Amino acid sequence: MRDLPGTVVGMQWISDPLATGTWLRDRLDADWSIHHFVPHGFEAYARIFHPASVRQSADAVDQPTTWKEAAAAFGTTLYAEASWQQLVRTPPEGNWHTQIATDGREFSAPREGWLDASILSRLTGHLSAHTSAPDECVAGVWEGWGGMLGFMGTGPSRASLAFSEDEIHQQVLWQSIRNPFENPFQRASWQPGILSDEISKGPRLELPDRAHVLFTAALSTFANPDWQDEAPWGDEALSLLWPADRAWVMTTEIDDDSTIVAGSAALIEAICADAAIEALPLAEGASLVAASPQ
């Protein structure tokens, strides 16, 4: 396969995302069920809960925790469509991010839009066992991550900034950031991003409310918890993943605290049975909006 600009071997930019991803787009809905993000038509679905964090006291160090443990601490029950806010009994207008349980432990919300690398690594074993094309996958990255793509604007992009211990150098960088705000008549120019200009100016896979840049990828890439060291888009999160045979789809929506996998009943059963992955099966058409505690 020919290497394309701005890519590394094994992860190549897909310059015609419509040819690759239209099938997925055509099976999404405009409503706010799970099918706003993950396609209809699969045998089963699973929701993978992103890890939350807990600290024993105000001066303690955060430790990863599960949604089930948080539910137990707040006297609620974890179920497939539960929301974090209501699971930890966030009061109206309350701080949804952090809540203190009756035993004094402080629980903080899971990270949105980001599946932990160790969980993704574990998940790849199940995904690989349920596709005939583990080496021929499509990886999608949301276009909106700051600094990933070049753009027309003023001031430097993230890709051109580097912090330095040199005070003069740092002063120049700071001045370059401030200038666009101080000079409203400054002419916009092309600001390069992490990815090449060709990719930055290229087409996207347009899905409801989101557009993605697509790359080829072997599933084994994501079995390595340090996979982002090899990713051409830098340290940004993976949003979409599916194999060439379309046996399953994994979606991590940037505003969600969980990842959804659509696939065969056997795949979903295996994911939900894995003690290292906190996951529950979802019904087709399920909604994760305005869930209530149980």
CA distances from 192 to 33, 144, 197, 206 (A): 36, 14, 7, 22
**pLDDT, averaged across the chain:** 86
pLDDT one-digit tens code per residue, 142-199: 999 988 998 877 655 544 444 444 454 444 444 444 455 555 556 778 888 999 999 9
Which position has the higher pLDDT, 15 or 191? 15
Instruction: Tell me how far apart the alpha carbons of residues 178 and 165 are, in angstroms, rounded to a whole number.
Output: 19
Q: In the numeric block, which tokens belong to residue 196?
A: 């090449």
Band the pLDDT of 292: cuts 50, 70, 90. Answer: very low
Provide φ and ψ at 180, rounded to 5°: -60, -30
Residues 6 or more apart whose CB falls under 8 angstroms from that of 165 comprise none
Residue 247, pLDDT > 90, answer yes
**Burial class, 168, CB count within 10 angstroms (exposed 0-12 / middle 13-18 / buried 19+):** exposed
Q: What percent of the chain clears pLDDT 70, i.e. is strictly above it?
A: 84
Residue 266, pLDDT > 60, answer yes
The pLDDT value recorded for residue 3 is 33
Please name the residue ranges forming H helices in the chain. Answer: 17-25, 67-74, 84-87, 117-128, 167-182, 197-200, 265-273
Q: Span 242-251, mean pLDDT?
A: 98
The pLDDT value recorded for residue 170 is 47
Residues listed for the chain: 294
The pLDDT value recorded for residue 183 is 58
Element (H, E) at 141: strand 137-142
The pLDDT value recorded for residue 91 is 85
Residue 232, pLDDT > 50, answer yes
pTM: 0.84
pLDDT one-digit tens code per residue, 55-97: 997 778 899 999 999 999 999 999 999 999 999 999 877 787 8
